[in-house]
Amino acid sequence: MRTSTSRPSSNGRIDTARRGSGTRRLLAVAAITASLLVGCSGSRAGTIAAGNLPDVLRDKDATSEELFALYSDALVQKDTELLGSVLGDQFLLQRTNGTWTDKAGFLAQLPDLRSFTAGPVEERRGEQTIVARLDATGDLVVNGVKYRMTAAPMLLVFEWTAGHWVLQAQGNFNLPGS
Amino acid sequence: MLASCGSTPTLDDPAVTGRALVTEFLTLLSTEEAPGLEDFLADGFQLQRADGTGATKAEYVEKHALVESFEIGDDLVAVQDGDLLTVRWTVVTEESVGGAALGGDEAPRISVFVYEDGDWRMVAHANFNLPA
């Protein structure tokens, strides 16, 4: 059976400077979780053990806004361990300029995201998927190339698998240039 | 297809299936009526275009792109993770959206399919082609 519900997120914007309490809570959970995991056994290299994942990843009712905030903050902090868990093993990212990467390539050469702002998220949910559209503005450098700090669309696909959300696909529409 | 995990086939070569699916998608868009498009799209479908516009399934079935011709590039990558198949690809098209022509240069796409009710259905599609 195929089911789907439309669940537009709140009208609040997401940014690295001004965050709601929910996002601060997520960040705190992520930070505490990461600190507790130093030396933790049982997880794959570069990932967090499933039982220790941030609550938002294990919450099937998590919104794409919350998932995107966690992902973006992990990028800003260059938290490769958390990113290793946020990204699905079959993650693919496509950029407007034709370049693309997979999970291994992405983690090996993380973009330099210094700050970001995102507009309201348009979200569609299926049984195991969330497809999210949003406009994002970021202070971003990819492979040494500075990207424009203008709002650009983004498409994200999250999959619910093995009891948590992972990001499986991303389309970035921002363009290189200053 | 090699094996099956639950009801979802484990694809022997995801790129072969991915190429067939994106070919089917563009072929469906070759007529105004686009018969089969509604069934091809998952209910949670969303499309994002480079100009910032997008569409849900209902919106896209109502007003979809019209593709006059297309040539899919050799550079296609597809990966399967259980019920999800992600395809990144490039294509040269003659197409219009709402009567406005898109550029004819080769441009990337990324499409995601979910296996539902015995078929792969497109659940997300990013079209990086800019207006002409």
Q: Which residue has the tokens 């507009």?
A: A119
Higher pLDDT: A113 or A24? It is A113
Q: Are B10 and B4 in contact (CB under 8 A)?
A: yes
- Burial tier of B124 (Cβ tally within 10 Å: 0-12, 13-18, 19+): buried
Q: Are B86 and B110 in contact (CB under 8 A)?
A: yes
Distance from CA of A155 to the nearest CA of B (A): 7
For residue A15, the model assigns a pLDDT of 63
A148 near B CB under 8 A: no
Q: Which residue has the tokens 């290189």?
A: A176
For residue A107, the model assigns a pLDDT of 97
Interface test with B, best of A87, A101, A133 (most B CBs within 10 A): A133
Residues A90, B81: C-beta atoms closer than 8 Å: yes
For residue A32, the model assigns a pLDDT of 35
| CA–CA distance, B79 with A92 (Å, rounded to integer) | 8
- Burial tier of A27 (Cβ tally within 10 Å: 0-12, 13-18, 19+): middle
pLDDT digits (tens, 9 = 90+) for B23-33: 999 999 999 88
**CB contacts < 8 A (A, B):** 115
Q: Are A166 and A103 in contact (CB under 8 A)?
A: no
| CA–CA distance, A123 with A70 (Å, rounded to integer) | 16
- Chain A positions touching B84 (Cβ under 8 A) are 90, 128-129, 157, 159, 168
Give chain A's radius of gyration (CA, Å).
15
Pairing between strand A87-95 and A164-172? parallel
pLDDT over 60 (residue A33): no
- Chain B positions touching A125 (Cβ under 8 A) are 44
* Amino acid letter, residue A157: V
pLDDT over 80 (residue A13): no
Kindly provide the ipTM of the predicted complex, given to two decimals. Answer: 0.93
A4 near B CB under 8 A: yes
pLDDT digits (tens, 9 = 90+) for A45-59: 467 888 889 999 999
Claim: this prediction has a pTM higher than 0.90: no
pLDDT digits (tens, 9 = 90+) for A137-177: 989 999 899 999 999 999 999 999 999 999 999 999 998 88
Task: Place A126 in a pLDDT band, splitting at 50, 70 and 90.
Answer: very high
Interface test with A, best of B75, B92, B123 (most A CBs within 10 A): B123
Task: Place A42 in a pLDDT band, splitting at 50, 70 and 90.
Answer: very low
Q: Which residue has the tokens 């034709």?
A: A98
Residues A1, B117: C-beta atoms closer than 8 Å: yes
User: Along the 132 residues of chain B, how does pLDDT read in single tens digits?
Assistant: 444 455 899 999 999 999 999 999 999 999 988 889 999 999 999 999 999 999 999 999 999 999 999 999 999 999 999 999 999 999 999 999 888 888 889 999 999 999 999 999 999 999 999 877
Q: What share of chain A in percent tops pLDDT 70?
A: 74
Instruction: State the Cα angle at B30 between A169 and B16, rounded to 5°.
Output: 45
Average confidence score pLDDT of chain A:
80
For residue B66, the model assigns a pLDDT of 95
Distance from CA of B16 to the nearest CA of A (A): 17
Residues A157, B86: C-beta atoms closer than 8 Å: yes
Residues A159, B126: C-beta atoms closer than 8 Å: no
* Residues 70 through 109 of chain A touching chain B, CB cutoff 8 Å: 88-90, 92, 94-96, 98, 100, 102
- Burial tier of B68 (Cβ tally within 10 Å: 0-12, 13-18, 19+): exposed
Task: Place A14 in a pLDDT band, splitting at 50, 70 and 90.
Answer: low
| CA–CA distance, B44 with B66 (Å, rounded to integer) | 22
A35: alpha, beta or left, given left = phi > 0 and alpha = psi -120 to 50?
alpha
| CA–CA distance, B81 with B15 (Å, rounded to integer) | 13
Interface test with A, best of B10, B75, B81 (most A CBs within 10 A): B81
For residue B124, the model assigns a pLDDT of 98
For residue A5, the model assigns a pLDDT of 39
